[in-house]
Structure 1
Amino acid sequence: MTDDSRNHYLVFGATGFQGGAVARLLLEQGHTVRGFSRNPAEEGRGVEGLAMVHGDLADAGAVRRAFEGITHAALVMPLVYDTETVLAYARNIADAAKDAGVERLVYNVNTPLPEATTPYASFETRRAVEAVLRESGLPLVVVRPPVYLDNLFSPWTGPALVNEGVLAYPLPAGQKVAWLSHADLAAAVVAALGNDGLEGRTLDIGGAEVVTGPELAEAFAEALGREVTYLPLHAEDFEAGLGQVLGAETAQGVAGIYRWAATGQDPQLFAADPQTTTRELGIRLTPLAEWIAAQPWQHWAKAGD
């Protein structure tokens, strides 16, 4: 492990769910942490007690200022899928991190990456960022998580699950997935920031269990004490619903992941071996039943039910 007493951490996307979970865990461990957000209006969505800086990733000066005094950084890219824009972001981050003398940068790709090139910007922009960071010579660790459990505790999944016993998600029923919680993602990223022997590595990480859609529904049924059925959504329907929340362009980018999954060409893409994650990072992964039991599902219950 590194000597944490002199480390200063920068967390990108600290007002989001993933970056916020990383920043929160670092703060809980007593570290000096700075969050970066592109939007000052999101200040209230950040982590309590977290020092924030704001700026556009396209602004090289703003990114450099964010890295001043930083020794370690955790990066997740925003939901932007224009290739040239994303490449500009990546170059600014790489240049600023190198000039600051960053000792380790952990890049959360936010998705596994198929070995072959795909038509989908959701994969290819993230692959391009990884290439920029590697070519920069930064001391880099890359983590590639699968699908997040926390996606299921959401306005587009929670109500149907709680009120109708329908677990709807845009993955084929037979797709094996090592569903990962945001909390376990944070533990993985923090471990990757500090553990020795990881520099230069790419780690496909995942949660405690690898399950199909029906097996996931069964875990929910046991935890909630009611019948739950898995419903594989069409990627088009998922994209349309997501577009109402995030906008059409972002929804199209995100949906590319699920369009690729629907082809059936990569059945093991989301099935990272839990033992590899625990062995390489030394963290405890949360069992499905434990995570489900810990969520306040009554939040989505219909009034009067």
Structure 2
Amino acid sequence: MTEQGRQYLVFGATGGQGGAVVRTLAERGHPVRGFARRGAEPADSGVSLVAGDLADPAAVREAFAGVTHAAVTLPLVYDTPTVADYARNIADAARQAGVQQLVYNTNTCIPNDTTPYPAYETRRITAEILVDSGVPTVVLCPPVYLENLFNPGVGGALANQNVLAYPLPADRRVAWLSHDDLAAAMVAALDRPDLVGRSVQFGGGDVVTGPELAAIFSTALGRQINYLPLEVDAFQEGLAFALGAEAATGVAGIYRWVGQDAGRDLFDLDPATLPKVLNVTPTPIAEWVVARPWQQFA
């Protein structure tokens, strides 16, 4: 497929994951349009932005005008009927626009079995709606992001107390993934018709436990860092100040499941999948750590 005549659309363009996709497409010289809530500002001033609500079918159709390829990351909304409406609006507009390929980022791995947590189930429903829509769709299922560690809560404890606190049991193995590597994977999948209809679970190249992650931080930062498994209730309470109670409850459900035996291996992914299936070389955790200005949290 040639590049001529392509128009890319990125949902969640002002968020962490969607913003990285926008940057990656723009840096490669692709025409890209972003979709975000009203009042949001594009991360790249050179990227056009359509402001609207995913619950508004007309706004979603407007965003898809002339679009050939779309990358979808949903906002942190976990009400099942609302998210199903989002998915149907995207699917209907993409089908009407004749979109050639759509890539959906579930924002977390989805367990094989049904769970009581909307953070998984709303993303499962969305994947089913998009794949069944008739629009050629690839579903990408990443684990958890390194950028989740770079915030005042985690970064403050790291900078001031030499503690890496996160709501995962110490023995959970996690294939931590950066936003940039996620973006590279999504852009690669947009040009992979052979993956249509498939769900690809992938993570970064380093699959580590909590103490092993802290050891990487220790070496990278030149001081002893200790891992502290944070109670999910405490994590949820802190997150509510930044995201609101409903979003915080939804996100916390991800960690409640992984903290149980049933979810023990959810983030323990094959590090070979990203380079073998999507031809993306993952960023080593140590390289990512060194590149962050942790001192700003001191």
**Partner Cα separation in structure 2 for residue 279 and residue 124 of structure 1:** 28
| 1:95 correspondence with 2:95 | no
Give SS of 2:171's match. Answer: coil
Pick which of 112-121 and 270-279 moved more.
270-279
Q: Is the 8 A contact 1:13 1:20 kept in 2?
A: yes
Give SS of 1:194's match. Answer: coil
Which string of whole-angstrom CA distances, capped at 9 and with x for unpartnered residues, describes residues 73-128 of structure 1?
00011111110000011000000000000000000000001110000000001001
| 1:18 correspondence with 2:56 | no
**Count of residues in Structure 1 that have an aligned counterpart in Structure 2:** 298
Matches within 5 A, 1:14-163: 14-39=13-38, 41-43=39-41, 45-163=42-160
Which string of whole-angstrom CA distances, capped at 9 and with x for unpartnered residues, describes residues 165-202 of structure 1?
10000011000000000011111111011134221121
| 1:172 correspondence with 2:169 | yes
TM-score when normalising by structure 2 = 0.98
Pick which of 112-121 and 290-299 moved more.
290-299
Give the fraction of aligned pairs with identical amino acids, expressed as a percent.
58
- Aligned letter for 2:40? E
Q: Is the 8 A contact 1:208 1:274 kept in 2?
A: yes
Q: Which runs of 5+ in 2 are unaligned?
A: none
Q: CA RMSD in A?
A: 0.9
Q: Is the 8 A contact 2:34 2:49 kept in 1?
A: yes
Q: Is the 8 A contact 1:35 1:51 kept in 2?
A: yes
Give SS of 2:194's match. Answer: coil
Give SS of 1:91's match. Answer: helix
- Aligned letter for 1:75? V
Cα distance, 1:266 vs structure 2: 2.2
Which string of whole-angstrom CA distances, capped at 9 and with x for unpartnered residues, describes residues 23-54 of structure 1?
00000000000000012x212x5323110001
Give SS of 1:6's match. Answer: coil
Which string of whole-angstrom CA distances, capped at 9 and with x for unpartnered residues, describes residues 3-41 of structure 1?
1222100000001011000000000000000000012x2
Runs (4+) off by over 2 Å: 45-48
